[in-house]
Structure 1
Amino acid sequence: MPPSNTHDVVKHIDCDIDDKNITETKVNKNLEPINVCINHMTNNPENFEIQLTGCKTVGQYAHIETLQVLLAKHEAIQCVFNAMQQFPDKDELHKTASASILQMASSSEANCEMICKCDGISILINTLRRYCDNINVTRTILTIFGYISATEELCFDMIQHCVHSEVMGAMSRHSQDAHVVKQCCFILGNLVITEDTAKQIMLVGGVHTIISVMYKFHDNHTILENGCRALGSFAAFDNSCLDVAQAGGTKTVLSVLEQTKDDVTVQECALWALACLTSMGDTCEELVELDGVDTLLTSIERYGEEETIQEYGVRIICNLAVLDTTSAYMSCNRVLHILIDQLTQYPENLGILDHALSALSHTLLTIENQRLLLNKDGVRKVVEAMATFPEHNGVQEHGCRILGNMGVYEVLRKETEASGASRAVISAMLSLQMSTEIQEYGCMALMNLTADVQVNKIQVMKNGGVSALLTCIRNFENDTCMLLGALKALGNIISLEGVCHDVLDDNGLRTIITVSNRNIDSIEIQTFCSMILCGLSALTDLPFEMTESIDDTLLRILGECCNNADICLYFCQTMENIITTENGYRIFIKDDRLPVILQCMSKFIYHADIQQAGCKIIAILAMGDVDKVIIQNGGIDCISTALELHPTEHRLHVLALMVLASLAPIVKGDKVDEVHRIVIMAMGRFMENHEIQSYGCTAICRLQLNGDDMEVDNILSSVRHALRRHSSQGDVLKSAGSLLRRMSEAGHAEGVDGVLGSALPNLPDFFWRTVKQTKPNKLC
């Protein structure tokens, strides 16, 4: 809305009317009753003197509020207009009558309505045309039109009578008269309430004329004020905004801002005009090119206590901020200080909050800007604004976007969440469930805030994040982008046991499976569904039916996306989770999942995490009664290949040797040599890892020995290194001692003595008991 203008009309009724009796607002003590005046005028329509006197008298009733006067005002005004029509050529009567109507118009909107109902606009237009060269009559009638135009409902009557055309003509004829110019600008600004009117005025050069007189009367603040209001009215329409700018409107308004820094009223109107102009991208770019940013910000900073100026100023900042080509000029500390101050100073002003949050959501992109927002407690102000207007889509949307951006940098996530970020986002998502933008930015915010920050994940869970995300998934089941955002956010927190329980309690398992079934062509959706199902599988108390549903769904997804490594990993990790439970183990064995695991390991041989998950599963199975099945399905070959391709993955080697230690007693034929080779190789690569050394010694101890001298030398060398490096590790000493004893019993006592007699640390007694040999007298 344009700046308030009622006071402006009252201020500008100084019309230089000569007759003091007409402009006098005090009531004449000898004033006859209004009904007497009306009767005189009605009964003597052709008597000029009576009509002239009546016209003078009627104006004096303007400010009288008695019931008698109020009931008769309409008739009195009609009498004045009748007189003007009866004596069209009498200059004195028209001057007097116009002044009387002006007094009526200035006293109330109701009187302005009566003037219009009496067909006064047409009569005043005729007078204006007839006495176009009479400056006093022209001023008076324009001032009347000014009062009438201040009431929006009456503007439509004025437009129908083409008052704007008459105003343009008057301004053209009296372009040197400041009073006429200021009233014309004021009226035009009020009359441009429809796009058609704007076009009509612009076609006859209205905007150019207004700009011209603003430069001509650059010292007249009232003309500048009304001119800015008029330019803003034209620019308020999308189809005419650029035309105003191209006519020089942007430059003119900036000039007014620059030269009237101490006039708050002019500044207010200029900023409103600029707010209308910058609704178009081209005008935003022009403002920047004209170096207008500093002028704009200076005005906003100067009048920090003026709420209206702040409201118009933040609209301009917002217009510049949302445009890609000008956004960078708003991404500075100066603008951020202004926006944060507005959030602080005007927490109840929806217009300011909405635009300030919108501007922040587009400019708060660098870590420096975000630190400033945090340091000035700006995040908390954003959260408070969202709490103040919980049902306002704009505030909630912009707030979610800001809080989402604040989660981009990991170092700021915890502090952002401490200000109540996720609580505000979740509240917005649950309150405005069908708003696409709020759900989209809400999911993004939760996803960013919870990335790699455990405390934030817990807080999102406590604030009801699971419910918000599942509701979003259900409401936007056909929106792929929305589903992805919600699934990603849920995937970030599914590692929490509490989140898993919340999902199951809200029937979330069925929801996720349904999403997967309906989006079989989207690999991304299948991936994140797999991640969530994998997370749920970590619950040890899952009912059999749920475990089975997770298993069936993941197997289907794996079959449809067999070349996707992430999906394969989630399948393997799920099997790793469920195989440790009674229900899961039953399903794994019954449905023969081992070949699937080994196939995954073979297909994604370069994926260390898949190899590690596969080895864990094999290790668990190897400790059971299905060890032969592992060997028959090529388990040892998978392990061998995995270790060769991932020589630096120590956890993978630990798991592999754990498996081989379990399988060793039943390894036969050429696989014996293969296992020997794998174990010796692993022990050589990770000499400092006591787990690998321990499992390695155990595996070799349980394998058949073929008596090959090179093999024996390699084994003894590996044991020697293990004893030297891990003399304080009981598991290594125990397994190494058992291996040495077995080798000694197998006919390699000389080699064993060589190891024991070498430069070893002081080993504990239990080691020697394990080897069943007396401790040597001399040790290094």
Structure 2
Amino acid sequence: MLVGGVHTIISMLRRYHDDRDILENGCRALGSFALYDETCLDVAQAGATETVLQAMNSPHNDVGVKDSCCWALACLTSIAHTCEELVSLGGVASVVETLEEFPQEETLQDYGVRIICNIGALESTLPQVSTPRVIDVLTQIHDNFPDNVELLEYMMLALSQAASVEQTVQEYFLTEGGLKTVVTVMKSLDENPAIQENGCRILGNMAVHECLRKAVEQQGASQVVLAAMLNIEMCADIHLYGCMALMNLTADLMDNKMRVKNNGAVPTLLATLRKFPDHPEVVLSALKTLGNLVDLQEACRQLLDDKGLATIVDICKDNKASDDIRSFTGLVLSGLTALPDLPIQDLLRVEETLVTLQAALPSDSDLALSMCQGLHNLMKSEIGLETLTKTGWMTVLENTTNQFQTRSEVHLTACRIVATVAMECRETSSPAKCPLSESTMRTVLHSMRLFPNDKEVQIVASAALSCVCESFENLRNAIIAEGGLTDVTTAMTNFPKDDRLHAVGLIALSYLLPVDVDTNREDAAMVISVITRSMSNFVENEHIQISACRALERCEVEGTENVFDILTCVHNGVRRHGGKKKVLKAAGRVFKRFGSDDAEEITEEMLISPTTPLGDIFVKIMKG
């Protein structure tokens, strides 16, 4: 009976396509039949969508006809089948044109925006309404009907869809005042859940793109998002999309982080964590945002002042917490350890939690990095060395580092810790209490071999080796036995133009040398070649010249030709830095070491040159 009636109406609309009354009433009847879920598909399959579009495009420029057409399409597009059919028939353009033609017709605008919402809800048809033209139609609704709350709700929903896909559309939305409209509506209807939720969605999507992020925040994004979270405290969806928006706004942009922090993000996020412990998506998004903010010391202090550490630790202890949640609690805790004035008891509590988390999730590289960064910051405190020694956390560090063969940041941080521990032991004159071992050194060397093209790893690892070799003879011997000298020279060869690497590499070589020429002739020659090449490449660098001379002084050399190459490099350094006592002192020792016997004549020719400014200290060393 229904299908027969629908077919009759469609037949009448097609036969009397010039009669406005039939068009208006027929389309309104089709909409009424399509209003119900159980009948909508039958109406659409009878041909209603195409018939209504024909009526909408008829010569009758009549608001009554257009209104009834929009009503029918709003009902028909409640199912996916009709949305796709409408798009295939080119109907979106007809709807938008109608909305543009009658901007002051409130009911028609209401139906039209509902059509756009229905089209935008389907992934396959969303691009059809994600256009600048649709954005213009939607944003003018606020100007024309600022007091129609229901219509504004639909407008915000449609905008959350239309501005969610294409970056070019988002740029248009931003520059043409669309974002300003969203912020204005959120401020004026600050206790309306639907508007606040969709507003947070829009702002979060806009902030995904780094190029738009700053401009979005400058228009007041975080302020209205945080207001939404505070005004509507118990709506999980608003807190979810609010946290997501804040997370995107604070990603990799320090100015935004400062603004968001100043707007009260930290206490708001902590309140969210406490109110929604059983909503894992909310908890995770809040933690991600806090993870962005703990780069700021003031944010860390706010977290501590609001008893946030206890909140974060409690989340870690929750057996229901997902692996992702635990991983991001680690990120937040790691950020706290960088706070210079973090109380000792809090620092220990944080690191104990990080170590426990890492043990519970041994395959999580992000958590491993957080733990390592926490240990590195712990070493900056007055109890760092003692704690590392007593707890056995150095072994944990070694095992963690060796487990993650592809995460260079873990290895880099571990090498920094080793260097810091070595310097701390040297300064406190307590090598017997040092937690470093031969296995620690193998871990450092392994890091260098795993990441030969990572310059930072090579620099920090070389620095760690030099710090260790300076103070610990037994570990120096272990490094040599494990091939550490070759690792350092390989790094210097791979990065011939990096002055930082060569500066620390030469210091490390000065402690690792000499090489036994009788058993390692090729290695000995290779080391000399690396050192002299470094001196030639960085002849202007005083520190490299000094460190190179100290390394050369410990070399074993065969043949007058090799001696000549060494003395020539040193001589060039003296000519460039001859007025500097440290250079002359280091160079004098090299000349004294090699400038005798077969090389005496070469030495004299170099030193009597008028371009070689020798000082008293050089002469004194030579004669001494």
1:420 maps to which of 220, 224, 235: 220
Of stretches 571-580 and 684-693 in structure 1, the one that deviates more from structure 2 is: 684-693
Aligned amino acid, residue 677 of structure 1? T
Offset from partner CA, 1:498-529 (integer Å, 9 cap, x none): 22122212222111111111146622112111
- The share of aligned pairs that are identical, in percent, is 35
In structure 2, do the counterparts of structure 1 residues 753 and 261 end up closer, same or farther at CA, with 3 Å as the change threshold? Answer: same
In structure 2, do the counterparts of structure 1 residues 261 and 410 end up closer, same or farther at CA, with 3 Å as the change threshold? Answer: farther
Offset from partner CA, 1:282-319 (integer Å, 9 cap, x none): 33334334443333222211112222322221111112
Of stretches 523-532 and 316-325 in structure 1, the one that deviates more from structure 2 is: 316-325
In structure 2, do the counterparts of structure 1 residues 287 and 740 end up closer, same or farther at CA, with 3 Å as the change threshold? Answer: closer
Aligned residues of 2:459 and 2:505 also touching (Cα < 8 A): no
Aligned residues of 1:470 and 1:508 also touching (Cα < 8 A): yes
Aligned equivalent of 2:607: 776
Task: Quote how far apart the aligned CAs of 1:546 are.
Answer: 1.0
* Structure 2 spans left out of the alignment, 5+ residues: 592-602, 613-624
1:763 maps to which of 561, 570, 576: 576
1:408 maps to which of 208, 211, 231: 208
Aligned amino acid, residue 768 of structure 1? L
Query: 2-side partners of 1:459 and 1:251: how far apart?
Result: 51
Aligned amino acid, residue 689 of structure 1? D
Task: Quote how far apart the aligned CAs of 1:341 are.
Answer: 2.5
1:513 maps to which of 300, 313, 321: 313
Aligned amino acid, residue 337 of structure 1? D
Aligned equivalent of 2:621: none
Answering whether residue 403 of structure 2 is matched by residue 603 of structure 1, we say yes
What secondary structure is seen at the aligned counterpart in 1 of 2:237?
A: helix
Answering whether residue 543 of structure 2 is matched by residue 731 of structure 1, we say yes
In structure 2, do the counterparts of structure 1 residues 444 and 671 end up closer, same or farther at CA, with 3 Å as the change threshold? Answer: closer
Aligned amino acid, residue 461 of structure 1? K
Aligned equivalent of 1:107: none
What secondary structure is seen at the aligned counterpart in 2 of 1:648?
A: coil
Aligned residues of 2:70 and 2:111 also touching (Cα < 8 A): yes
Aligned amino acid, residue 252 of structure 2? D
In structure 2, do the counterparts of structure 1 residues 204 and 717 end up closer, same or farther at CA, with 3 Å as the change threshold? Answer: closer
2:177 maps to which of 356, 377, 391: 377
* 1:646-725 superposed matches below 5 A: 646-665=451-470, 666-668=472-474, 669=477, 671-673=479-481, 674-703=483-512, 705=514, 707-708=516-517, 710=521, 712-725=524-537
Aligned residues of 1:740 and 1:752 also touching (Cα < 8 A): no
Query: 1-side partners of 2:45 and 2:407: how far apart?
Result: 62
2:135 maps to which of 310, 333, 336: 336
Aligned residues of 2:156 and 2:182 also touching (Cα < 8 A): yes
Task: Quote how far apart the aligned CAs of 1:619 are.
Answer: 0.5
Aligned residues of 2:277 and 2:283 also touching (Cα < 8 A): yes
Offset from partner CA, 1:103-156 (integer Å, 9 cap, x none): xxxxxxxxxxxxxxxxxxxxxxxxxxxxxxxxxxxxxxxxxxxxxxxxxxxxxx
Offset from partner CA, 1:80-115 (integer Å, 9 cap, x none): xxxxxxxxxxxxxxxxxxxxxxxxxxxxxxxxxxxx
What secondary structure is seen at the aligned counterpart in 1 of 2:502?
A: helix
* 1:567-578 superposed matches below 5 A: 567-578=367-378
Of stretches 559-568 and 204-213 in structure 1, the one that deviates more from structure 2 is: 204-213
Offset from partner CA, 1:470-518 (integer Å, 9 cap, x none): 2222222122222222222222222222221222122221111111111
Aligned equivalent of 2:95: 296
* Structure 1 spans left out of the alignment, 5+ residues: 1-201
Of stretches 633-642 and 566-575 in structure 1, the one that deviates more from structure 2 is: 633-642
Aligned equivalent of 2:294: 494
Query: 1-side partners of 2:42 and 2:508: how far apart?
Result: 86
In structure 2, do the counterparts of structure 1 residues 649 and 246 end up closer, same or farther at CA, with 3 Å as the change threshold? Answer: closer
Query: 2-side partners of 1:296 and 1:678: how far apart?
Result: 70
What secondary structure is seen at the aligned counterpart in 1 of 2:367?
A: helix
Query: 2-side partners of 1:204 and 1:722: how far apart?
Result: 89
In structure 2, do the counterparts of structure 1 residues 584 and 429 end up closer, same or farther at CA, with 3 Å as the change threshold? Answer: farther
1:280 maps to which of 72, 75, 79: 79
Task: Quote how far apart the aligned CAs of 1:273 are.
Answer: 3.2
1:536 maps to which of 312, 336, 345: 336
Matched length: 578
Query: 2-side partners of 1:210 and 1:659: how far apart?
Result: 85
In structure 2, do the counterparts of structure 1 residues 414 and 519 end up closer, same or farther at CA, with 3 Å as the change threshold? Answer: farther
Aligned amino acid, residue 649 of structure 1? D
Aligned residues of 2:66 and 2:98 also touching (Cα < 8 A): yes
Query: 2-side partners of 1:455 and 1:599: how far apart?
Result: 38
What secondary structure is seen at the aligned counterpart in 2 of 1:347?
A: coil
In structure 2, do the counterparts of structure 1 residues 345 and 675 end up closer, same or farther at CA, with 3 Å as the change threshold? Answer: same
What secondary structure is seen at the aligned counterpart in 1 of 2:392?
A: coil
What secondary structure is seen at the aligned counterpart in 2 of 1:477?
A: coil
Query: 1-side partners of 2:244 and 2:183: how far apart?
Result: 16
Aligned equivalent of 2:167: 367
In structure 2, do the counterparts of structure 1 residues 308 and 729 end up closer, same or farther at CA, with 3 Å as the change threshold? Answer: same
In structure 2, do the counterparts of structure 1 residues 486 and 519 end up closer, same or farther at CA, with 3 Å as the change threshold? Answer: farther
What secondary structure is seen at the aligned counterpart in 2 of 1:582?
A: coil
Query: 2-side partners of 1:390 and 1:310: how far apart?
Result: 23
Aligned residues of 2:528 and 2:555 also touching (Cα < 8 A): no
Aligned residues of 1:407 and 1:413 also touching (Cα < 8 A): yes
Task: Quote how far apart the aligned CAs of 1:393 are.
Answer: 1.5
Answering whether residue 189 of structure 2 is matched by residue 389 of structure 1, we say yes
In structure 2, do the counterparts of structure 1 residues 203 and 367 end up closer, same or farther at CA, with 3 Å as the change threshold? Answer: closer
In structure 2, do the counterparts of structure 1 residues 307 and 724 end up closer, same or farther at CA, with 3 Å as the change threshold? Answer: same
Aligned amino acid, residue 509 of structure 1? L
Instruction: Give the alignment's TM-score, normalised by structure 1.
Output: 0.68
Aligned residues of 2:513 and 2:555 also touching (Cα < 8 A): no
* 1:451-600 superposed matches below 5 A: 451-519=251-319, 522-600=322-400
Query: 2-side partners of 1:696 and 1:706: how far apart?
Result: 16
1:624 maps to which of 418, 424, 438: 424
Offset from partner CA, 1:747-775 (integer Å, 9 cap, x none): 99996665123573533123123333597
Aligned residues of 1:716 and 1:752 also touching (Cα < 8 A): no
What secondary structure is seen at the aligned counterpart in 2 of 1:624?
A: helix
Aligned residues of 1:225 and 1:270 also touching (Cα < 8 A): yes
1:306 maps to which of 88, 94, 105: 105
Aligned equivalent of 1:612: 412
Aligned equivalent of 2:622: none
Aligned amino acid, residue 505 of structure 1? D
Larger Rg: 1
Offset from partner CA, 1:685-720 (integer Å, 9 cap, x none): 333222332323333333463642635434433332
Aligned amino acid, residue 756 of structure 1? L
